[in-house]
A and B are shown apart, each in its own frame.
Chain A
Amino acid sequence: MSALLQVRDLSVSFGRGAARVSAVDGLSYDLHAGETLAIVGESGSGKSVSSMALLGLLPPRAAHIDSGQTLFDGQDLLRMNDRQMRSVRGNRIAMIFQEPMTSLTPVLRIGQQLTEALVEHRSLSQRAARAKALEMLRLVDLSDPPRRMRQFPHELSGGMRQRVMIAMAMALEPDILIADEPTTALDVTVQAEILNLMRDVQACFGMAILLITHDMGVVAEMADRVVVMHRGKKVEEGPVRAIFDSPKAAYTASLLAAVPRLGARSAEDGPRPIIAQPAEPGEVVLHAEGMSKVFPGRGGIFGRSSGTVAMEEVGFRVRAGETLALVGESGSGKSTSGRAVLRLLEVDAGRIELEGDDMRTLSARSLRKARRAMQMVFQDPFAALNPRISIGRLIAEPMVIHGIARGSELEDRVAALLRRVGLEPEHMKRFAHEFSGGQRQRICIARALSVGPKLIVADEPTSALDVSVQAQVLELMLELQQSMGLAYLFISHDMAVVEEMAHRVAVMRQGRIVEMGPRRDVLNAPRHPYTAALLAAVPKPDPSAPRQKLPRLDLKDLPMGRLAQAAHDHWVAR
């Protein structure tokens, strides 16, 4: 069988002269009709760049295609002129992007955006294009297609927008669909639906999918064959089963080993012990009760709209040396809860006790003092460090604020902290942008540790990191907890990471905790249907498991009332 698309010896670089960086180096692969080929790699592996090169979407002045050819239908895509390329792009090869928020034009109605390409490429009449567009919207399972046609992108949710993108891409019945991280920006239950949809669409149209992703779970669910990339080079290629079961390249093996697998610790009570004698959970450090927060609607001259309930009656306890994971999808109120605990946000009602002190009644001055005991680690280590202050001063800052150390003692402590998190003291004089994502997160952790806190609120601390780096940061966090007896409030959307880190889990939805209990009980035998749905939606990094349709959940009839005790320390919403 001859390949639909043959990529041979493709090399792409950025910049010129001394600043030249090779992004893709001698990449070759074949894509056959009707198959799904996954290109997998971490950030900087060149996986996106190589596929953008196919469609001539690289920034023209910055990027150079140094060599290679990409044969599609007997023609070399890399040597097409603009007009030829336009007749291929969207028409024969369509693309969907990671960010459904920004890949639709915000000022045009969905209908217009859908029909545009049909009129352009297929010379359909407006009327025929409209009929086709409606058919496509129905095909991607959007409710009430005529209404969707009249709506603007901002009126749709992320998942709905990605459906529109797929409808748009498939309307011209392309031979190849390039999907660049199509579900990365979506919640896990929505991701499951979109992956289902992509499979259905492929079964219906028989196009080939070039799937670009960093997520091994998605690969296992979707791909027929896999190309693994690392630093611009292909390190391995093969059928998906072979890649997962017997990876030949060391890099593939290490990548797979770093992927957190849901169920890996289902037989264990706590997280993996890193040190010989880990500290056991001790006294209650944090006790939150009945926290509620309504974000007021936009205040106008003519009064306010009703506002959004971010958090309702949220309460939990965290013990020293213990991790409570707050799990949920975007908008579930998990980050709000974390920030409320630190009083980075004022709650409307509720009680927050840190080591017995009521945080809400503290004056500004004593609150500042109390902040010693609780620190935060943020999701985006790129934004969490002030870019204009050296990291030595950043790490020292909390100690300066609380008058813990000064002069040479301060410097010694900073050096020790850097060493503690696996960095060099010489790094002190550098600025945040000189470090990689993983190193920055280590710096953030060092900064949080500097004042000897009892509690660390970690808001998605690894979700901006590559899996191999994630594994290292998680291990560091476990090690610190076990040796120092830290309490973690660990906010995450990733069930597999939660399983690795947590002693106890609280599942949040729409501002409420719907289930809370020991990690093993909650993840192994969820008692709330929403928890069960979240767990089922997680793509399994195991291609040998049968690819079933992921379950769909009717979210309307979920019990969302008060928590009631279901078993020892296991609470479920009624």
Chain B
Amino acid sequence: MSLELKGIEKKIGEETHIYTTDLKFEKNTINVLLGSTLAGKTTLMQIMAGLDKPTKGEIWFNEQNVTGVKVQKRNVSMVYQQFINYPNFTVKENIASPLKITGIESQEIDQRVSKVADLLKLTPMLNKKPNELSGGQQQRTALARALVKDSDLILLDEPLANLDFKLREELREELPKLFKDRDCIVVYATTEPSDALLIGGYTATLLEGKVIQHGKTLDVYNKPNNLDSAKVFSDPPMNIANINKKGEICSLLGDNVTWKTNLNLRDGSYKVGIRPHNITTYKEGKNSIEISGKVLISELSGSESMIHFTNGDLNWVSLSEGIHQKDVGEETKLFMNSDEFLYFDNNDRLVGNV
């Protein structure tokens, strides 16, 4: 089983929503579509589902061309950001609704419903109506509706975006387990890099209607093939600085910060991408580099401190474990872990990550 998009393109009027895209999703995989709002995640999913037709290109499922085949004939299920359930059905009836239309015996429907309800911890709520439930339970019901069908393709369009923090964390941890051992392809759209990392599997990064990179989630994270992909897969935003390389020595433009590198690169100017958690108030890694700056803002969350500071003409973001109180305007010293640097050439392509 596999889902393949061959040269998909989507235009609405003169506006291109999806640029020519080739993607292949394999059997029993979870695939994350990662990109900001309007990157084209939803459009792409609707094309995969058959809810929308591509302007150009073909969709192949199980070695069959399914372009233009209606969604009802595709055995697809979808979960949305909004909690979509039939308002006047009980939870039980809601979960059963995709099965009823297929004409399965009611005894089997009951069995499958109670199994899925159990999996999603919905058993005590089976006789309630959706609007008597919390947001998390409503979304669980929607998930149950998607799972009960044994679809070949399950599409999840930012399913956690409308949930509050705790419920999101809880459900996010359960999701990968739910789809394990299921004979299907799961596609999960999200704006959050952390979702992609937690879910694992494969990730495709999207920017403005283009798929920039597709591969195993950790590979895409560790080796983004260009700057855009790295930016999409970094939250808080990645720090990007221009550097000069001469021999073994790299130096930050506009500042006297220098470090040694054993990268096999020609001398010249490059860009370095540094994720915020690689700039910390304490030393990390063997090759840590000191950088000084003036504090712009420091934000404390329960267990982390985000310090925004200026160095040269650039605004930097750092993320440290623990609480580190800094005053605005204070001159401060921070440490960059140069083992985690990503080097890009002037065409924004990744040239090295050591």
Do A and B assemble together? no
